[in-house]
Structures are given as C-alpha cells and as structure tokens.
Structure 1
Amino acid sequence: MNSWRDQILNEFTPNVAKLTLAADPDGLLLEEGILEGVRDRGFELIPFEDHIAFRYAYESKFRSRWDRGEHTDLVVVLRSQASDLNGLPFDLLQAGRKLSFNLGDIFPNLSYPVVTALETGDLDALYGAQQRHAPGQLGDNATKEFVLRHVFEIAPELIKQPSDLLRVLLRRHYRGRRIPDALDARFIQILRQNKVFDEWPLEIIVSDREAFFAFLQERWPVFLDQASAGAGKDIEPCNLSMDGPVDLPFDHDDIRVYIDNLFIEGLLQPVPHAAADSLKDSWVHIGVQDASREDQLLRLDKLIANLNSSLPSEEARHTEWFRFARGWAELILLFHEMSGSDHEDAFQKVQSLRDQLDERFTGWLLKRYAGLVNLPPAPPVMLHHMPRFLARQVEDDAVKVAMVVVDGLAMDQWLVIRNILNKKYPGLRFREQSVFAWVPTLTSVSRQAAFAGKAPAFFPNSIMTTNKEPALWAQFWADQRLSQQEVIFMKGLGDGDVENVAEALSHPKAKVAGLVVDKVDKIMHGMEMGTAGMHNQVRQWAEQPYLHSLFELLQDKGYRIFLTSDHGNIEAAGCGRPKEGGVADLRGERVRIYPGAILRDQVKERFPDALEWGSAGLPENYFALIAPARRAFINEKISIVGHGGVSIEEIIVPLIQIEKESMNAL
C-alpha cells in the first residue's frame, strides 16, 4: 500500500450498508486525509461523543431519510476499543455493520504507546520509514529513536557540539513541530551523555518553543557586542534570566539562515545597539533596531520572498496555514507602517502575493475545511473545540481557566497589541497559536460556537443572535458537572470595567470564566481609515492599562488565561448591493444569508464571483453567499473594514495563552 490510509479507506465501499459503526480509539478516522477520502466515497461521518448532540444529528439528518426509503452511507465513530461498541444505543447496533481501526494494526513492529503519542500528521513519514527500513520488533526506546530519526529528522547520537544542537532546535521550533514528551525525554537523556551540554537548560528549551526563543533573544545582544568588538576582545559579563551558555554560535552557517528568518518573521525582536552604524553592512544588521526607510524595505522584501516560497498548497495540512497566517500578519503590519512612495512601491508586490493567497486559501477551504469540524480538541483547531480543550485542563490539572474572546481581533491586530504589551509589561509571556473561526465569519455564528462548544448546527434557533451565549456556555459546563456558581460569563467588556469582572471572580466557587471584550469590534464598525486606521486605534487602546489590568486580575485569582477571537476583519471595496428586497435573512456587508438555495442562486447570477458556502456544520435553511475576494456588498465607491467572508485574515484568528513567569505549555 502507498499510504497507511489505504488500509482504512479500503473498508469503505458505498452501498454496502446504510450505517457503519467504527471503533476508532486512536482517532484515525478524524485525520484530514481520511475524512476527505471517506467523503469522496459518499460517506458522512458523525463522532459519538455527546449523546444528546449525536442523537439530534442522527434523527434529524438520517433516520428521517431512511424512513422515506432513501439510502445513506453513514459512519458513526466511537473513540473506543472494538469491544466497547456494545455501549452504543441498541438501535444503532441492530442496524449497523461494525469496523475497528487502530495504530497497532498499521505499525505492528513499533511500540504502540510511542506511536499513539504522535499526531496523525506525523504518520505519513513514519509509514514511509517503516516500508523503507522494515524494522524488526522494536521496544519503547528503540521505537522512540526510530521515530526521532525518521519522522522528526533528529539523530541524537550525531549531535556533538552546540551548533549541532542549535540547528536541530531551530528547525523544530521554527516549524512549530510538536514532539511527544516521551520522545523529548529520550532525546534529552541521550544528549545528557555528552558533557558538552552539561550547562544547557535542555529540559526547558528542547520542548518549550517560547522558552527557546527567549533563550536566543537574551543572548543575541551578547553576540552583537562580540561582533562589534571584534574577535578576541573580552566582553563584559551580563546577567541573564535563563541558565545556560552565554556565547552561542549564531554566525555558524547552519544557524544564520534560521536567525535571519526569525527576525524577519517577528519571532525574534531586533534590539538597539551602540554600534548599529558599524554593523550596518553585516549580516547581523537584521537583528539591530533600525527605523530607516531602507531597512523597512529590506525587511518587507525578505518577508515577501519567504511567504512566496512557503505558500501552502491545496493539499496542505491546517498547521501549515496556521504558520503562514502568522507570517502574513507580520507582512500586513509592516506594509501598513509604511507611507507615501514606499507604500506605493511595495503595493504591487504585496497585491500579487495576496491574490495568490486568496485563490489558494479558498481552494483549500472548499476541500478541507469541513474536515476540521470533528478533529480532536487538543490542541484546538476550531473555535468550538475551545470549551472541550479547557474542560480537559479543569479535569486533569484542577486549574481555573478563563477564555477571553476579543470580538473581531485579527491576527495582525493581535501583533499590534502584543508589541505594546511586550514593551510596557515585559513580565508577561505569550504562547501563540491559532484557530479557525466558523464560516461565515459572523459573531452570531462563530462566537456562539466558541461558547457552546458545538457546531452551529446545534443551535439553529439562535443562529441570528448572540443572546443565548450565556445559556450555551452554562449548559456546556453543566454537562461537565460544574454548577452555576462555578461558571462566569460576561460580555460588553473593554473600557474600565475591570472592577465588575473582579466582583464576579470573587465568588469562592468560581472556576471557569468566559469573557467577551468587544472594543476591537466597536473600533472596526466605526472605521473609515482602513487597515492602517485599525492598527492605529488598536494601538491606542492597547496603550491603555485595561488589558494588562484584566490579565493581572485573572492571574492573581489563579486563572489560566486563553485569549482568542471569534473572527478577524479585512479592508474591502464595494462591489454593489444585491436588490433582493426582504428575502435575505441577514444582509451583511461581506456575506448574505438566505433561507433557501434558490434565492441565493438568484442573487449569485448578478455576482458570479461570489462564493456559495456549503452547509457543513451549519443549520438547515441557512444558505450563505459570500462576497468576492476583498469585496463587500456595498456601493462600489465605498470601502469598509468588515467581516463575514473567507479571507485568511477573517478565518484564522489568534489563540494565545497568557502567562506571568510560569511556562506551562498549551
């Protein structure tokens, strides 16, 4: 077989049975490629997790069709061993054929506990290595080393000196690769056999991406001192907050290429230096603070080149789009900091990349977005995964958690906020990830899903409003056996109301807080100066003490803080207003919602480039027509900042764990 997926997909032949029950303890059927293959064969898939939610979908979408004599190919997935399928409802067991899949069958010679710790995205490389090298039966440690070498390109026994270790860690953390704790522990165990690394804080920088970048950031000024003083000159000792060697080989050929990209993409921050002028012609200048026009243009050109070369394909995993969205946000921020002729000179390059991005990302969404809905919630991939992700922390770590939803915050606007907070409050630490908003990217759809912990199809009666958010949030936590006194929900925050939040958090039983900060959304809906105007006003708001006071309050009360957004926003030009009278349920600027496909099709005839969005995860009779790329359903002479569509800025939003000193990973 060419792929591990073939072993699974071969079991899915259409018209064999109207209902298939699949025991899937390792979540293989929820992998993006498997989901696409199953759907291509005409099957629909429902995970059996929440009994009530499952029964609603099952009865409304499938039982009614069977009663009418229609055929369906439905797969019900249970995350359990094969013998536990008997725990499913009797009517399903009577009607369905039974299948079972697990990683032990696909990788019979490798340690099952080691393989199950991997993400499904790592299985392609592992399966290819298994076919090429045909390993015999391997124990735990041998499997760990096999996986490190062939999946993560790490050969611990070949790491002999600091430059070897830095190269491996830079490649890993630059890509944002997740490696299971057990593999990291084996990697560190082998490294510790080499006394060269005795003083290195391996237990921190190997697994912790933010700690590793902080480790590099602290040592970069020391390297600049050496570069400006010349070889052989003594450098004054300095006090560093992180243990480990002071002198790192940043100028090694294998290291320099990563360092250059880290500064360009904002993962490391340039620092001021007394010898900036003498370093201007050196490669290290990329890490020296310089507000000159030439330096801005150089950074922009390098960032455009990096993004052009890393634009994901339509077959890419969602994690590749997360990484690209972060770089794209840096580009938006840098581009709009320019003015006058510099802005005009760069416009064509940015527009060309943007056009490619819009086409590629839309194609990927149409192919892969529906498959994200049922992915496991750890790490969260979509906003409705967040409550289940938080619930696991409450259950496993017995911690208090707070989800702060900054309504309308796009990734580039988060970078504005982060830069301000970094300067004013250096004690804060930000673990940056991303999640997908719901499409259409409307508050009543996406934010409601974030608090409900369910796809919008499960709250059809409130899909046009946000009034039910408190009840949906409370219901989710009630299902987790938390009482009303343990759950807090507040909205309309953002201007001097920290005292009200403090009062709510003071309840002795409070464990979970859902907070909506709507300041950015208010800025957006009154914005007439485009993206640059958004940046300016968000920057002014971030300069105020509100956000820091809110975070400090939550930390003092013992909450683990996660900041996210229900959708982003873009600057869009008018393409004309549909003249549909009163037939549209929602007449938005970036999206129109219709009660039927016929009405939507009639409007699309006038706007052939508009996108008819599918119904995956949405209620019945909810038909969205999304405005063309970077356009809005308004007068052609007008531009707005809005949301509702499928641009990467609207859909991929920040997910930030905010810490104070502590470095507990997401």
Structure 2
Amino acid sequence: MLVEKIKNILGLPYKDYIMVKDPDNILGEKRILDAIESEDYRIILYKDVEEFRYIFESQIKAGHIKRLILILKEDLYIAYDIKQWFSVCNLSYSEIFPRLNRMVLKEKRALDWDHISLVYENTYEDYSSEEMTHSFLDEVIYEKEHLMSYLKKLENDLERLLASPSDYRKWFQIAHINAKRNLIIGRLKLSKEDLIDITKDFQTFIFEEFGSLSGKSTFKGPIMVSKVMDYLLRREKKTALIVLDGMSISDWLILEKHLDYRARTDYVFAMIPTVTSISRQSLLAGLLPQELIDPFSLINEKRQFYKKAKEYMDESQISYYRGYQIEPSFKDFFIAIIINDIDDLVHRQMYGIEGHNADIERMGQAGELNKLVGKLLKVGFEVYLGSDHGNKESLGLGRPKGMGVEVETKSQKMMIIKDYAEIKEVTRDYKLLEYPGYYLPKDYSYLLSREEEALAAEGERIMSHGGASIEEVIVPFIKIEGENKNE
C-alpha cells in the first residue's frame, strides 16, 4: 500500500523526469526502488554536480535515458537548465501521512509500512502529536480489528503470488509475507485452518526445483547459504558475518525493531535437512553438503571456514569468533561470529510459538546484538547477519529409535538412515517424506517430517527444525546499511 501511495505522490507513470527531494530517505527501501524501476524509470542518487552534468549532457539530453527519477537527500546545487527538465516532488512522511508525526516516524525502528498504511486509511483521528503517533504505532495498529484487516490483505497477497509462475524469487516474497502472517496468528492465537495453505505448493517446489538452485546466477546476491561466503569474499571489503543459528524470518522481524541501524533484508535457501551440522557448515565453508568433509558433524566447521576464506586472503586476516563479547584484532579483515541464542531458545521452548516469540522479543530488548553490530561498525567492518536455518512449531507423532544417524540430537523433524531395509514401514508409520537428497551424500536415505508434524512425543507441541517447511528453509540474509535508521 505504501508503494501505491508513493507512486501517486510522484506522479508515476505520467511524468518522464522527476526530481524527488527525499529528506527522510523513504526511497532507500529496496522494494520501493524495485517498484519504481518496474515502471521503466532509471533511478539516480544526486551526489556530485559535475558527475550529474556529464550524465545530463551525454545521456538525458541525447535521449538515451527516457525516464528518470533523480533523488536528492540533501540540498545540493542544481543548475537552472537541469532543473527545467524535471518535475519537482517533495517526498516526506508529512506528505504521505499528514495525520502522523514526521519526527516520530523517522525515529521508529523497522516499521511495517504496509500495515501502517492500511490502518491509517481505516482511521480518521488526528495522531499528529508525538504522543498520539507513539500510541498509533505501539497500540492502535495492533488492535484486533486492524490486525484482522492486515491479515486479510496478506492472504490476498499470498493468493496472488501463488497464482504466479513458480520461481525462487516468488518464494522469497511468499516467505516474507508468511512470516508476517505467522506473527499475527501467534499474537491473536488464531487457527490456520481457514487460511491459505502454502504447504503443498512449497513442497512441490522443493521436491522438483530445489536441486537446480545451485546453478542459478548469484550476480545480485547469494540464493543458497553455500554461496554466501563467495559473495562476501569477492567484495574484498573488511567484513563481519554474524551467524544467528536458527533465526527464522519471523525472528528477524522481531529483532530488527531493536537495532539502531538501517538494514536491507534479502533471503537465501538453507540446506535440507535444515539442521546446523549440514546447513551452517555449508554456509561457512562455501560448499554443498556433499563436498564437506563430514556434513553430519560440526567438528570441521572452523577449519573449513578458514580454508574457504584463505582462497581470497592471508590467514592472519581471518578470524572465527563465538558469542557477543568479542574483541576483533586490528589485523582482522574477514570474520565470522557464531551466536547460538536463537537455536538454544528453540530447543528449550516449552510454550510453543507464542513463548518463542516472547523470548525473541526479550532477546532483542537485551540489546546484545545491537551492541555487537555497533562495535563492528565502529572499527570499520561491513556487517552482515545470516542464518543457517529457521524454526517451526510442530506436533509430535512419536519417535522411532535406534535406526537413524545421530546428526543432531535436538532435531526432531528428520531422520538420516543408512542400510535400513524397512524405510517404507517407518515412512508410513510416521507420515514421513522421502527427500531426494539434493546436494547430500548419496549413500543415505533422508526422511523428513511433514510441515506441522515432528518426531517427538505423541501429542507434544514443540519448536524445532530439520524439515522442509518454508519457515525452516528460507532464511534472512541481512546487510547493515547505515549507522542509524535514517542514514
């Protein structure tokens, strides 16, 4: 909804050359830029007078750029003859939401603009004071009627996307919408029975197309966790990769609100089965599981991380850390930091998804991640946050014993079996899926629990991972972009 508001304010697609004064950095959000570019506009950030003069003379006046959005974040000199080419538009929170307080909107963290836009259009009160805007953002938009309206919009978005051709980028969008939907379901304690079921469509995608993802172009960014290291190392910049073991998209939506830094969120596919030993090793080694020394153990993780990074730099520039309380060396140029908090919370959880979300909220409030990000930025690192797999609430169907490879004793969503003759029997008894084993050693059988089920005590509700649900498989890959929310 925010995108449509912005298109209307800018006058798309009725104007060819638009100069946008954007003091609130509203056009800094990737999905908004993507929507503008989809209308066949070139987007240029105005930074340098002489640089743009060259573009103006050689490309705009010559007719090579037919449509252009020129973004100004600050007052810079623009020559009169250039100004004459453009329609000037002021884009600020005051223009988009005149009944809300602009300064509060600038200061708030990780706002869901579609949610805000929907509630704004459905209410008529004046919330323009600071106090009232805080009330609107912290209370009003979370009232049940507004959450139900937003849930209906998310359902419509999912229905539209599910009807489109199958493509991994479509599933990234669906995963993001589904994560927001799950937070509402958890908050209102709703049943999923009457909501759109994406299970079968995603399962079909995984079983038919997941095996071809490793061959996709990663020019714009990694698609799978195994491509993250090469993507970051090729940049040849001082980089810190914080790996939040077990972080789902929903977890990130909660944590982002507690960061003092602007972030750009993309997505990658975890390895399946979605367990740490397989997927985090693949992430840090930059290898497919079948290429790892031992994909079922973490004993070689650190060594394989160093081996990968040494393809690009000297070992003295590489470090592997654990926990928040680290002190990077002045020599460090590429570092990985492992944070196990979320995975630990998942496996200790006794109160289902509601309890898990509350724990993630407390984790964000504690501020340890925020402090770590700030420390790394202060000493010159580009900071990325990654995850090896997500997590999901499931219902136990019972647990077979003495037949699977002990990959990760905490996982209750999968079995890895070697030389066991009765696979069909156990598959039938526990409603398991026989996974094709894409990118995995071929001398094992891989059995996965279905979406809402787990190999746990019968009737027990647990939080876990290891399966092939969209919550477990598609995870956030985040770049910290600014030193504050409005940079």
TM-score bucket of the superposed structures, by smaller chain:
0.7 to 0.9
Indicate whether 1:564 and 2:386 are aligned: yes
TM-score, structure 2 length as denominator?
0.76
- Which one has a bigger Cα radius of gyration? 1
> Unmatched 5+ residue regions in structure 2?
1-11, 21-26, 45-51, 75-88, 107-111, 129-135
Out of 308, 315, 331, the position equivalent to 2:159 is 308
The AA in structure 1 aligned to 2:274 is T
Out of 475, 479, 484, the position equivalent to 2:307 is 475
> Unmatched 5+ residue regions in structure 1?
1-154, 164-168, 204-215, 229-235, 242-261, 278-284
| 1:572-608 Cα shifts (integer Å, max 9, x gaps) | 00122225x345444641001111474533421323x
Out of 459, 462, 465, the position equivalent to 1:640 is 462
Indicate whether 1:511 and 2:333 are aligned: yes
Alpha-carbon distance change, 201 to 625 in structure 1, aligned in 2, over 3 angstroms: same
| 1:69-93 Cα shifts (integer Å, max 9, x gaps) | xxxxxxxxxxxxxxxxxxxxxxxxx
What's 2:177 paired with? 327
TM-aligned CA deviation for residue 535 of structure 1: 0.8
Query: Any residues of structure 2 matched to 1:386-397 within 5 Å, and which?
Result: 386-394=228-236
In 1: Cα distance, 2:478 partner to 2:452 partner? 27
Q: Structure 1 stretch 262-271 or stretch 636-645: which is displaced more?
A: 262-271
- Give the SS at the match of 1:536: helix
- Give the SS at the match of 1:319: helix
Out of 45, 52, 72, the position equivalent to 1:201 is 72
What's 2:132 paired with? none
What's 2:423 paired with? 600
TM-aligned CA deviation for residue 299 of structure 1: 1.9
TM-aligned CA deviation for residue 403 of structure 1: 1.0
TM-aligned CA deviation for residue 158 of structure 1: 5.2
What's 1:590 paired with? 413
Deviation >6 Å, runs of 4+: 160-163, 169-172, 177-182, 191-194, 196-199, 236-241, 266-274, 285-288
In 2: Cα distance, 1:301 partner to 1:564 partner? 30
Indicate whether 1:263 and 2:96 are aligned: no
The AA in structure 1 aligned to 2:16 is I
Alpha-carbon distance change, 653 to 176 in structure 1, aligned in 2, over 3 angstroms: farther
What's 2:241 paired with? 403
In 2: Cα distance, 1:239 partner to 1:633 partner? 47
In 1: Cα distance, 2:213 partner to 2:143 partner? 43
What's 1:104 paired with? none
- Give the SS at the match of 1:660: coil
TM-aligned CA deviation for residue 294 of structure 1: 2.0
Percent identity, aligned pairs only, is 23
Contact 1:270–1:287 (CA<8 Å) still a contact in 2?
no
Contact 2:276–2:388 (CA<8 Å) still a contact in 1?
yes
Out of 414, 417, 426, the position equivalent to 2:255 is 417
What's 1:173 paired with? 31
Query: Any residues of structure 2 matched to 1:209-358 within 5 Å, and which?
Result: 219-225=92-98, 263-264=113-114, 275-276=126-127, 289-311=140-162, 315-338=165-188, 343-344=189-190, 347=191, 350-353=192-195, 356-358=197-199
Contact 1:270–1:286 (CA<8 Å) still a contact in 2?
no
What's 1:159 paired with? 16
What's 2:5 paired with? none
Q: Structure 1 stretch 377-386 or stretch 461-470: which is displaced more?
A: 461-470
Alpha-carbon distance change, 368 to 240 in structure 1, aligned in 2, over 3 angstroms: closer
Count of residue pairs brought into register by the alignment: 431
- Give the SS at the match of 1:435: strand
TM-aligned CA deviation for residue 336 of structure 1: 1.5
In 1: Cα distance, 2:440 partner to 2:432 partner? 19
What's 2:376 paired with? 554
TM-aligned CA deviation for residue 631 of structure 1: 0.1
* Highest RCO, 1 vs 2 (Cα 8 Å, sep ≥ 6): 2
- Give the SS at the match of 2:198: helix
What's 2:282 paired with? 449
Q: Structure 1 stretch 629-638 or stretch 380-389: which is displaced more?
A: 629-638
TM-score, structure 1 length as denominator?
0.57
TM-aligned CA deviation for residue 239 of structure 1: 12
